[in-house]
Structure 1
Amino acid sequence: MHEIAKMMKPPSYLFTLLAFILFASIFYGHDFSFIFRPHSNHETQTLFSSPEGNMYKRETKREEEEGCDVFNGRWVRDELTRPLYEEAECPYIQPQLTCQEHGRPEKEYQRWRWQPHGCDLPIFNASLMLEKLRGKRMMFIGDSLNRGQYVSLVCLLHQLIPEHAKSMESFDSLTVFTAKEYNATIEFYWAPFLLESNSDNAVIHRVSDRIVKKGSINTHGRHWKGADIVVFNTYLWWITGSKMKILHGSFDDEVKEIIEMSTEEAYRMALKSMLRWVRLNMDSNKTRVFFTSMSPSHAKYKLWGTILLMYIYGRSIEWGGEPGGNCYNETTPIDDSAYWGSDCKQSIMQVIGEVFRKSEVPITFLNITQLSNYRKDAHTSIYKKQWNSLTREQLANPVSYADCVHWCLPGLPDTWNELLFAKFLYS
């Protein structure tokens, strides 16, 4: 009998495991509910309203099994927890994104929280995030929208770090925030196409005729090696019309071989190059790779030569606004859950779906497009440092120079980082 009782006695490690689970459920109870909270099939439907809605079927299926599609939800007003930091308390925000400093008269855009259907996002825990980054190198790679997300993350974290133990430095295309006590860096690398292009200068990149070099990802990629967490994005700079100019050879060649390719096929080429580079240069057992989808605009595009400009006439009529408007003077989100917009996001989303679906490279997709589509109120609009002096005609008509592409900080990019945090810690 003694032997039987001994055999039936639970092993000692089981008590240790149960004790840890009890502790974690108390300490991180809110975050655990994100994983285990029940949901309905209706609540976990894909958030896309486009025909390409099911192209991330594998990812969506996995999220449903875990308990929630965090990208499918609604915006709720929240004065208790928003904003997550104050603009004046973060010295790292570029003057192109400091809307309060540049005269925005209200703060409504700061008071909205993303609420997924059927669950809650885990509360952003800066201390936990810094611990996860200890001894690591995190890198954002892409264009100015990715830089906005990068700066947002630095703003979310930096207040926990003493002044003497942090620094921000720039080296051409690379910006590095260092948390010295954590032996960690959070970096941004300017590469708007990921591939080599004639727009790669971190300061002087407003060229009128954009050209991308085929098969050139190693030009920038050699600077990305050794990163432990990578967040890619690329979209805005591809939108120059229906065609892109692709260079075969070198930018130094006297006679350049340049062909035109459809924007979708050129974008497909870049994504395939990115995935191939990740497969050859990153250990999936050690490195987490994310790709952030398109950040939408709320302005009508007008093609002038080969330069795509936000022009005087906006798309406000699409969300029930007055004809001829854009994001200027907008102070509330779009409340139509089916709103998608009329630019080329759908065709680009289809390309991403096709390329990622065929790839075996482990990569986490951050689908910020639809939830950002609702935030016509969150753009910098006219409340930013202007690159050039404004004309008398522009000053008389603010709609004509409102920036409906970039986002105020604090604001929408903070939500992108909450989603990144959720996927980084719990997926």
Structure 2
Amino acid sequence: MKSMGVGAASPFKDQLHSLTKKLLPWTIYAIFPLAIFRLYFYPLQLPPSSTDQLPSTSSTIITSSASPTHISSSKEQERTEDTPCDYTIGKWVHDKSGPLYNGTTCGAIKDGQNCISHGRPDLDYLHWRWKPKECGLPRFEPNTFLQLISNKHIAFVGDSMARNQLESLLCMLATASVPNLVYHSEENKFRRWNFPSHNANLSVYWSPFLVKGIEKSHQGANYNKLYLDRVDERWASELNHIDMIVFSIGHWFLHPAVYFEGDSVLGCHYCPGLNHTEIGFYDVLRKSLRTTLKTITERRGSKSNGNGIDVIVTTFSPSHFEGDWDQAGACPKKKPYSEGEKQLEGMDAEMRKIAVEEVEATKENAKHFAGFRVEALDVTKLSLMRADGHPGPYMHPFPFANGVAERVQNDCVHWCLPGPVDTWNEILLQVLKKWEGPSKRGE
């Protein structure tokens, strides 16, 4: 048998090549449906992707079934406690769901802020929700809030805005558990409610300056007296029985006043006829907050004095009078300002800035106090955009029942309940959830 030379064609290779060309297409046609069948009934078990898992940080927002989870970007998913959600930047978006409670059924609302029962006909102001730019703000969860304050005493201290915020919170919590009014002073400036389901207490303390103050009266001097170096003991004397305190002040500092440190007069604000230096009220507001936060740090900041205390400072809530408040000023707007339509400036911006700066300074000074936490509840900008949310003429029942009067007094300072102030407490809940996350007090 002759050997085949290098490069000569092999008949066996030719036959194999021919057979392969014929069978290969049929083999592919047979394998393809089998692969589809295998994947359909037995899908591959791939390891979870990092983008499918929400980070387990205290600042991650997970909504309830009442509020669908919304994740705007991977940046939000990667948010950590060091970079919490910035609730100050955002816009008001229309929301068909409306508020949690009805102003006609909640018994805790001050009469002048119960706009529904007073006959306000336009109810669109109830259907807006605050949407932060880079994150979501879940709807309020009353059961979660009650669990977080179980066996605790939460005190709202300040002027009528503190009361406005407290009554909003009471109404939202009452949708899950009915509170009992267990104490009230004769003038209702000091009240306390108890939620027996969670042994939680909510109180309000009237203290429009936080520091010691003597309010003007019709019989006496037509100006307030403020003692900037000492706190108001009407609330401070009960610090040992308070677990969290929420401050809200600002509007009363605009009134005429004389300011003291010790027995010395520092100056005054709008006090014609008195031989005192006009010093305005910005520095006075700052001194009042500084004295207040310093006193709390000294009395309750150390763990050796108990379990510590949490402090929230709600920033200034702007008014929306169009015209002078005492000369037929009104707030007739029927919808929120759109983004960029209303700027935070002037007095509103300065009052907010003072509160935020004093909170940050207190944080820095109190780092060695493990039992003390403080946060600014920054609501100034989102409130500035809601000129439609005030009682206006409906601070009185049915003000136009007998026709349009020549002059109707308007309330463009406080907020209708339900109304925009409910958003403050939605953000407050997120602060509490963050505090009770992985980075708890003292850990």
* Same fold? TM cut 0.5: yes
Partner Cα separation in structure 2 for residue 287 and residue 281 of structure 1: 10
Cα 1:199–1:300 change in 2 (3 A) is farther
Partner Cα separation in structure 1 for residue 214 and residue 175 of structure 2: 37
Partner Cα separation in structure 1 for residue 242 and residue 206 of structure 2: 15
Cα 1:198–1:281 change in 2 (3 A) is same
For residue 322 of structure 1, what is the aligned residue in structure 2? none
Secondary structure (helix, strand or coil) at the match of 2:391 reads strand
Contact in 2 for aligned 1:97/1:408 (Cα 8 Å): yes
Contact in 2 for aligned 1:190/1:200 (Cα 8 Å): no
Aligned-residue Cα RMSD (Å) equals: 3.8
For residue 134 of structure 2, what is the aligned residue in structure 1? 118
Secondary structure (helix, strand or coil) at the match of 1:211 reads strand
- How far the C-alpha of 1:184 sits from its partner, in A, is 1.4
Cα 1:24–1:345 change in 2 (3 A) is closer
- How far the C-alpha of 1:38 sits from its partner, in A, is 6.1
Structure 2 residue corresponding to 1:290, chosen from 312, 323, 332: 312
Contact in 2 for aligned 1:299/1:310 (Cα 8 Å): no
For residue 58 of structure 1, what is the aligned residue in structure 2? none
- How far the C-alpha of 1:238 sits from its partner, in A, is 0.6
Cα 1:74–1:371 change in 2 (3 A) is same
Instruction: Give CA deviations for 1:126-159 in whole Å, capped at 9, x if unaligned.
Output: 1111111111000110110110100000001123
For residue 282 of structure 2, what is the aligned residue in structure 1? 264
For residue 246 of structure 2, what is the aligned residue in structure 1? 231
- How far the C-alpha of 1:277 sits from its partner, in A, is 1.2
- How far the C-alpha of 1:350 sits from its partner, in A, is 3.3
For residue 48 of structure 2, what is the aligned residue in structure 1? none
Instruction: Give CA deviations for 1:177-223 in whole Å, capped at 9, x if unaligned.
Output: 1112322100111000101212299xx99984122123220523113
Structure 1 residue corresponding to 2:358, chosen from 349, 355, 358: 355
For residue 416 of structure 1, what is the aligned residue in structure 2? 424
Contact in 1 for aligned 2:70/2:136 (Cα 8 Å): no
- How far the C-alpha of 1:311 sits from its partner, in A, is 3.1
For residue 49 of structure 1, what is the aligned residue in structure 2? none
1:172-183 matches, within 5 Å, as: 173-183=189-199
Contact in 1 for aligned 2:227/2:261 (Cα 8 Å): yes
- Aligned identity (percent) is 26
Partner Cα separation in structure 1 for residue 376 and residue 68 of structure 2: 18
Partner Cα separation in structure 2 for residue 357 and residue 181 of structure 1: 36
Instruction: Give CA deviations for 1:384-409 in whole Å, capped at 9, x if unaligned.
Output: 238xx99x9993134xx211111100
- How far the C-alpha of 1:234 sits from its partner, in A, is 1.1
Contact in 2 for aligned 1:175/1:189 (Cα 8 Å): yes
Structure 1 residue corresponding to 2:413, chosen from 399, 405, 410: 405
Structure 2 residue corresponding to 1:375, chosen from 376, 380, 386: 386
For residue 245 of structure 1, what is the aligned residue in structure 2? 258
- How far the C-alpha of 1:341 sits from its partner, in A, is 5.6
Partner Cα separation in structure 2 for residue 78 and residue 312 of structure 1: 32
For residue 169 of structure 1, what is the aligned residue in structure 2? 183
Secondary structure (helix, strand or coil) at the match of 1:334 reads coil
| 1:222 paired to 2:233 | no
Cα 1:29–1:346 change in 2 (3 A) is closer
1:94-109 matches, within 5 Å, as: 94-109=110-125
Q: Match of 2:297, as an amino acid?
A: R
Which ranges of structure 1 fall in alignment gaps of 5 or more residues?
A: 1-20, 44-60, 303-308, 314-325
Structure-1-length-normalised TM-score: 0.72
For residue 153 of structure 1, what is the aligned residue in structure 2? 169
Contact in 1 for aligned 2:359/2:376 (Cα 8 Å): no
Partner Cα separation in structure 2 for residue 176 and residue 90 of structure 1: 16
Contact in 2 for aligned 1:230/1:288 (Cα 8 Å): yes
Structure 1 residue corresponding to 2:91, chosen from 60, 66, 74: 74
Cα 1:257–1:393 change in 2 (3 A) is farther
Which ranges of structure 2 fall in alignment gaps of 5 or more residues?
A: 1-53, 265-273, 367-372, 436-443
Contact in 1 for aligned 2:125/2:334 (Cα 8 Å): yes
Partner Cα separation in structure 1 for residue 418 and residue 182 of structure 2: 19
| 1:280 paired to 2:294 | no
Q: Match of 2:318, as an amino acid?
A: P
Number of equivalences: 351
Cα 1:76–1:36 change in 2 (3 A) is closer
Cα 1:385–1:397 change in 2 (3 A) is closer
Q: Match of 1:384, as an amino acid?
A: M
Partner Cα separation in structure 2 for residue 383 and residue 274 of structure 1: 35
Secondary structure (helix, strand or coil) at the match of 2:338 reads coil
Partner Cα separation in structure 2 for residue 69 and residue 24 of structure 1: 16
Structure 2 residue corresponding to 1:425, chosen from 426, 433, 442: 433
Q: Match of 1:237, as an amino acid?
A: W
Contact in 1 for aligned 2:100/2:175 (Cα 8 Å): no
- How far the C-alpha of 1:92 sits from its partner, in A, is 0.9
Q: Determine which structure has more spread, i.e. the larger CA radius of gyration.
A: 2
Cα 1:111–1:64 change in 2 (3 A) is farther
Partner Cα separation in structure 1 for residue 177 and residue 356 of structure 2: 39
